[in-house]
């Protein structure tokens, strides 16, 4: 059995989620894919997938084999790149992970620029906000708006990410405008569940005074766009990055509040595995992303324009 090709086929089936979809993507018949999967299971001596008419589910053995197969295939790719990665033209599939809101609002132009320059590369981008294991889950790159926890990854800063506390004019008219963090105890607060600030908000003023305020939310969600929409509909107060709320602020739908107190800003970073031999497609994306965001920072980030924020 050609084990590497069997691993590639199996990973493709798992990621497609359906035998018929995997067959279409591989330009094979469903019967051929099913037959190859059966041969692999027979070779391994155990079932990898449970099949129903609607979906596939991985067995315990199937999960283990998928994870190890992804690692092995990644290692094989890196071994090939050690010889050819710096000189060959970028090609293949570039697998990217990015935060939901940032990817939806800000990534389109960057991806279009990259693919226009490197048309032989197909882009597979997944948007969600949970923390991922870049290597275990088989991603080439990830964009993150948070502190880097895994020191084995390279973090390339692309742009600052300003966080502002905001509310709608109608909410402030009804409930009053807070001027000090302690005032927030009497307000409806909206929380982002994937952030460290889901339990406490951290403030600092120009004098260097710091306040950590425990927060109980009237709305908790894992999506920043929903929080923005909730603010516009007068549901309460929340800290959000300007790339989400910038347009609503400029339109007068949302107001920045408590400007004497600042929330901790983050950086938008590009993460990729530490390696002496990056594949050509990854190296090219890093170069394009750095140049793209640098052009947007010559004066001010596009999403910060007109908000009166200092650039740090």
HSE-CB of 130 using CA atoms within 13 angstroms: 4
- In the prediction, which pLDDT does 148 show? 64
CA distance 184 to 299: 34
pLDDT-wise least confident of 29-33, 45-49, 299-303: 299-303
Do residues 225 and 101 touch, judged by C-beta distance below 8 A? yes
- In the prediction, which pLDDT does 227 show? 95
Pick one of 3.20.20.70, 1.10.10.10, 1.10.3720.10, 3.30.565.10 as the CATH number of 3-69.
1.10.10.10
Model confidence at 87, pLDDT cuts 50, 70, 90, reads low
User: What does the pLDDT look like over 198-238, one tens digit per residue?
Assistant: 678 899 988 889 998 888 888 999 889 999 999 999 999 99
pTM across the whole model? 0.66
Q: Over the chain, what is the mean pLDDT?
A: 86
User: What does the pLDDT look like over 259-280, one tens digit per residue?
Assistant: 999 887 788 899 988 766 678 8
Asked whether residue 56 carries a pLDDT value surpassing 90, the answer given is no
- In the prediction, which pLDDT does 78 show? 78
- In the prediction, which pLDDT does 179 show? 93
Model confidence at 310, pLDDT cuts 50, 70, 90, reads low
Place of tokens 């279009």: 112
Asked whether residue 84 carries a pLDDT value surpassing 70, the answer given is no
Do residues 181 and 210 touch, judged by C-beta distance below 8 A? no
Region 85-160+267-304: CATH code: 3.40.190.10
User: What does the pLDDT look like over 135-174, one tens digit per residue?
Assistant: 888 899 999 887 666 567 888 888 888 899 999 999 999 9
Residues in the chain: 312
Percent of the chain with pLDDT over 90: 39
Strands 121-127 and 92-98: parallel
Region 163-264: CATH code: 3.40.190.290
- In the prediction, which pLDDT does 293 show? 86
The domains spanning 3-69 and 85-160+267-304 adopt the same CATH topology = no
CA distance 169 to 183: 17
CA distance 29 to 42: 20
- In the prediction, which pLDDT does 22 show? 85
Model confidence at 312, pLDDT cuts 50, 70, 90, reads very low
Q: Choose among 200, 206, 189, 224: nearest CA to 262.
A: 206
Asked whether residue 86 carries a pLDDT value surpassing 80, the answer given is no
Strands 92-98 and 56-58: unpaired
State the average pLDDT over residues 86-114.
Answer: 87
Asked whether residue 85 carries a pLDDT value surpassing 70, the answer given is no
Domain boundaries, the chain: 3-69, 85-160+267-304, 163-264
């Amino acid at each position: 059995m050609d084990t590497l090709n069997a691993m590639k086929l199996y990973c493709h089936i798992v990621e497609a989620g359906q035998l018929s979809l995997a067959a279409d993507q591989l330009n094979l018949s469903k019967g051929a894919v099913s037959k190859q999967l059966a041969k692999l299971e027979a070779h391994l001596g155990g079932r990898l997938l449970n099949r129903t008419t609607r979906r596939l589910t991985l067995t315990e053995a199937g999960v283990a084999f998928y994870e190890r197969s992804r690692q092995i295939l990644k290692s094989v790719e890196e071994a090939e790149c050690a010889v050819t990665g710096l000189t060959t033209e970028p090609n293949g599939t570039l697998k990217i992970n990015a935060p939901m809101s940032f990817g939806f609002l800000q990534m389109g132009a960057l991806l279009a620029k990259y693919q226009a320059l490197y048309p032989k590369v197909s882009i597979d981008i997944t948007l969600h906000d949970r923390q991922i294991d870049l290597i275990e889950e088989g991603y080439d790159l990830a964009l993150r708006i948070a502190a880097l926890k895994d020191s084995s990854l390279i973090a390339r800063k692309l742009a600052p990410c300003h966080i502002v506390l905001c509310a709608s004019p109608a909410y402030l008219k009804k409930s009053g405008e807070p001027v000090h963090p302690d005032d927030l105890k009497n307000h409806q607060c909206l929380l982002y569940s994937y952030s460290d600030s889901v339990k406490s908000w951290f403030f600092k003023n120009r004098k260097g005074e710091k306040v950590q305020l425990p927060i109980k939310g009237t709305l908790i969600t894992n999506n920043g766009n929903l929080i923005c929409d909730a603010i516009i509909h007068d549901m309460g107060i929340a800290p959000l990055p300007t790339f989400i709320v910038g347009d609503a602020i400029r339109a007068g739908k949302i107001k920045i509040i408590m400007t004497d107190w600042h929330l901790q800003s983050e950086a938008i970073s590009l993460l990729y595995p530490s390696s002496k031999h990056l594949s050509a497609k990854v190296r090219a994306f890093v170069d394009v992303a750095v140049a793209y965001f640098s052009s947007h920072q010559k004066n001010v980030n596009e999403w910060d324009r007109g908000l009166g924020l200092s650039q740090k």
